Amino acid sequence: MPIILLALAAAVLLGDIQAASAQSQFPYPQYAYPWCSIRGRGGSQSCYYTSWEQCRATMSGIGGICIHNPNYRGTPPPTRR
């Protein structure tokens, strides 16, 4: 009986690890978007914005800054003036 419980616990833990790594690539990898937001003291970064305006609209009210995605693999976004 203890071996079955140990195997069941291992299966649950491995399932959680796989689900977490799958979520990091949903819906597209972060390098697919040209803009990132950085929020809070911990520097939480999210790179899922197609434009600077979209990033700023999301950050308004919750605080944070928008930067060019350093890992973006497409054409560089136009520079703001």
pLDDT at 20: 44
What is the identity of the amino acid at 64? G
Look at residue 81 and tell me whether its pLDDT is greater than 80.
no
* Span 59-70, average pLDDT: 91
Dihedral pair phi/psi, residue 38, rounded to 5°: -125, 125
pTM passes above 0.85:
no
Domains of the chain, residue spans: 2-68
Look at residue 77 and tell me whether its pLDDT is greater than 80.
no
pLDDT bin (cut points 50, 70, 90) of residue 64 is very high
Distances from the Cα of 36 to the Cαs of 3, 6, 45, in angstroms? 46, 42, 7
Which tens digits make up the pLDDT trace of 5-56?
A: 666 666 666 655 444 444 444 566 777 899 999 988 788 889 999 999 999 9
